[in-house]
Amino acid sequence: MGVSFTYIGQRIKERRISQGLTQAQLAEQIARSVPYISLIEKATKKVSLTTLVLIADALGVTVDALINGSLAEGAGARRCDIAKILDDCSDCERRVIFDVVPAIVKSLRDNGHLHSHCEEAKRHFTGY
């Protein structure tokens, strides 16, 4: 599983707007151009780690919150993502999804894949 620059860009935009900052104000705070901020938020340009750290500092959040979402928003944001996916599905597709999801969860829990995946992602992002 790779890094989703689309979600990172969305989170940056959401945090920026929630704090009443314009792209110009954020760009000025981190010494980057307004077009660059726009490209990052749209995921047209992949944000560098250095810039991501500067943005996180300017927005008063952790880099992890921008990459993965904060724990507080995580469940809610994921529910919104799931709702968007389900809204785009037919009734038949939804029934299949609802039938399959419990089996996936059981399999992950029974086989420990979820824990190892989370640990692998943690090592990937932190280097530990």
| Tokens standing for residue 7 | 């979600």
Domain that holds residue 108: 89-128
Q: Are 59 and 100 part of one and the same domain?
A: no
Mean pLDDT, the chain cut into blocks of 10 residues (128 residues total): 84 93 97 97 94 94 83 57 85 93 86 63 51
Say yes or no: 51 and 97 in one domain. no
Q: What is the CATH number of the domain that holds 59?
A: 1.10.260.40
Pull the structure tokens for residue 56: 């996180």
Concatenated DSSP letters for 71-121?
HHHHHHHHHHHHHHHHHTS-HHHHHHHHHHHHHHHHHHHHHTHHHHHHHHH
Instruction: Tell me, yes or no, whether 21 lies in a domain.
Output: yes
Are 51 and 98 members of one domain?
no
pTM exceeds 0.75: no
Look at residue 79 and tell me if it is in a domain. Answer: no
Q: What's the structural domain count of the chain?
A: 2
Burial of 10 (0-12, 13-18, 19+ CB in 10 A): middle
